[in-house]
């Protein structure tokens, strides 16, 4: 037993070190890729079958691989592949050459432009004076050169893959929770059934263990936001783990989304802040003036730091999970390039680890939703808290 644990521990340590090394090398590769800005997603197609069998990352990888084929070019670039799959895109890649084109909506000094992203032909064609360059839309002149002035004026509110995924997840939420609410109003005071029985423990968990515990008696006001955020993050984390459409977008691992959520938390905290809350920030009662000189800037910084940390934590956790899972897949291709046998051998190991990582990600999916909700609740709690005997506390 002890030996087993020891064995597992050393195995785990090695595996962790190994995976860290891989992630590091991926980042290096990305940096490298950025320097050179070389176009072309390139890989050989030996491991297509293996890759297609598994997660969305693999599906994407296979797609990329086929892209590479189309180019007829050289090496598999793990960093590029991974970054393309944790980042946003203007079309929703399904498999092989098949992808769903999404609407491009641009407003620039040229005016409003709305068209399908299929017009870009995956970056191979200009359309309407715009060009898709490394996932970004830039304005081009008649002669094909990039027009920096107009590019700077572009407001890109295209429905990207993440935006589409956002809409899908929100529609799922609407359908699920309104139907659950209907179930409640239809059969009041009866035991929960079906979907209701799945949702109810989570709702009660958020209410009792998050809101009531952190905010106190005024928790009711914040319940709608806390519940919405909890389920939004949880559902999107889970959707991110689903390899095929409508899952697969890395929504909660997108900094724009986590930033928006953090801003919501920040705004709600700020507008609900009591006099006490602000007094504790600007001039902590019971603290000597010379300490305040030091403390007040820290407190004020803390006000902004809190949502910032919320944003980074969710983004980093989810993105890291995706990157690690993708890294294990890249191993297949990297070793497959050396020899097909090595690729096959590594695929067993990679698959096992990806399964393990996916299980971890299931835990993380819940954990991060919980942590974000809990911290938001704690911030709301500090905003509405009443210090009756503030002096005694300090």
DSSP state letter for 127: B
Q: Which is nearer to other proteins, 46 or 160 (CB)?
A: 160
- Which two tokens mark 24? 């590091």
- Shortest distance (Å) from residue 33 CB to other proteins: 10
- Which two tokens mark 381? 């709690």
**Phi, psi at residue 146, to the nearest 5°?**
-75, 130
3-state secondary structure 160-224: CHHHHHHHHHHHHHHHHHHHHHHHHHHCCCCCCCCHHHHHHHHHHHHHHHHHHHHHCCCHHHHHH
- Shortest distance (Å) from residue 259 CB to other proteins: 5
Query: How far, rounded to the nearest angstrom, does the alpha carbon of residue 324 sit from its chain's CA centroid?
Result: 14
Q: Which is nearer to other proteins, 221 or 393 (CB)?
A: 221
Helix (H) / strand (E) containing 98: strand 98-101
Do residues 59 and 244 touch, judged by C-beta distance below 8 A? Answer: yes
CA 297-303-306 angle, to 5 degrees, is 125
Footprint of other proteins (CB under 8 A): 30, 34, 83, 86-88, 105, 135, 155-160, 162-163, 166-167, 170, 173-174, 177-178, 180-181, 184-185, 188-189, 199-200, 203-204, 207, 220, 223-225, 227-228, 232, 254-257, 259-261, 264, 315, 319
Q: Which is nearer to other proteins, 143 or 189 (CB)?
A: 189
- Shortest distance (Å) from residue 220 CB to other proteins: 8
- Shortest distance (Å) from residue 243 CB to other proteins: 20
Q: State the sign of the Cα–Cα–Cα–Cα dihedral 294, 299, 305, 309.
A: positive
**Phi, psi at residue 280, to the nearest 5°?**
-70, -25
Q: Which is nearer to other proteins, 34 or 193 (CB)?
A: 34
Measured distance CA(276)–CA(390) in Å, rounded: 9
- Which two tokens mark 254? 């997108």
- Shortest distance (Å) from residue 225 CB to other proteins: 6
- Shortest distance (Å) from residue 178 CB to other proteins: 5
- Shortest distance (Å) from residue 184 CB to other proteins: 4
Q: Which is nearer to other proteins, 13 or 260 (CB)?
A: 260
Q: At what angle do helices 289-338 and 340-384 cross, to 10 degrees?
A: 160
Q: Which is nearer to other proteins, 238 or 292 (CB)?
A: 238
Q: Which is nearer to other proteins, 97 or 182 (CB)?
A: 182
Q: Which is nearer to other proteins, 157 or 362 (CB)?
A: 157
Q: Which is nearer to other proteins, 171 or 301 (CB)?
A: 171
- Shortest distance (Å) from residue 60 CB to other proteins: 16
Q: Which is nearer to other proteins, 204 or 291 (CB)?
A: 204
Give the count of beta carbons closer than 10 Å to the beta carbon of residue 306.
19
DSSP letters spanning 323-391: HHHHHHHHHHHHHHHH-HHHHHHHHHHHHHHHHHHHHHHHHHHHHHHHHHHHHHHHHHHHHH---TTHH
- Shortest distance (Å) from residue 100 CB to other proteins: 17
- Shortest distance (Å) from residue 155 CB to other proteins: 6
């Amino acid at each position: 037993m002890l030996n087993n644990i020891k064995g597992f521990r050393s195995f785990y340590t090695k595996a962790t070190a190994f995976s860290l090394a891989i992630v590091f090398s991926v980042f290096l590769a990305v940096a490298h890729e950025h320097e050179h800005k070389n176009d072309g997603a390139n890989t050989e197609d030996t491991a297509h079958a293996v890759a297609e069998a598994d997660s969305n990352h693999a599906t994407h990888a296979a797609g990329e691989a086929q892209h590479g084929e189309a180019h007829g070019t050289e090496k598999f670039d793990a960093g590029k592949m991974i970054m393309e799959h944790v980042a946003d895109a203007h079309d929703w890649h399904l498999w092989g050459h098949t992808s769903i084109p999404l609407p491009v909506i641009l407003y620039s000094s040229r005016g409003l432009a709305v068209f399908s992203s299929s017009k870009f032909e995956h970056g191979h064609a200009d359309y309407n004076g715009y060009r898709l360059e490394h996932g970004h839309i830039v304005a081009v002149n008649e002669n094909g050169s990039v027009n920096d002035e107009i590019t700077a004026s572009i407001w890109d509110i295209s429905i990207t893959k993440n935006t589409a995924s956002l809409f899908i997840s929100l529609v799922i939420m609407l359908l699920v929770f309104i139907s659950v609410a209907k179930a409640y109003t239809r059969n009041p005071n009866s035991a929960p059934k079906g979907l209701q029985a799945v949702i109810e423990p989570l709702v009660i968990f958020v209410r009792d263990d998050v809101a009531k515990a952190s905010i106190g008696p005024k928790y009711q006001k914040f319940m709608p936001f806390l519940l919405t955020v909890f389920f939004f993050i949880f559902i999107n984390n889970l959707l991110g783990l689903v390899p095929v459409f409508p899952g697969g977008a890395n929504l909660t691992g997108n900094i724009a989304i986590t930033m928006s959520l953090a801003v919501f938390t920040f705004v709600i905290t700020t507008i609900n802040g009591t006099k006490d809350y602000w007094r504790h920030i600007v001039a902590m009662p019971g603290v000597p003036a010379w300490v305040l000189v030091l403390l007040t800037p820290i407190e004020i910084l803390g006000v902004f730091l809190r949502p910032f940390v919320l944003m980074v934590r969710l983004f980093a956790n989810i993105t890291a999970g995706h990157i690690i899972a993708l890294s294990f897949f890249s191993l297949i291709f990297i070793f497959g390039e050396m020899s097909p046998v090595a690729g096959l051998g590594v695929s067993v190991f990679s698959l096992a680890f990806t399964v393990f990582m996916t299980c971890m990600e299931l835990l993380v999916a819940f954990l991060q939703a919980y942590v974000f909700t809990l911290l938001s609740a704690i911030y709301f709690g500090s905003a509405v808290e009443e210090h009756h005997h503030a002096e005694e506390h300090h």
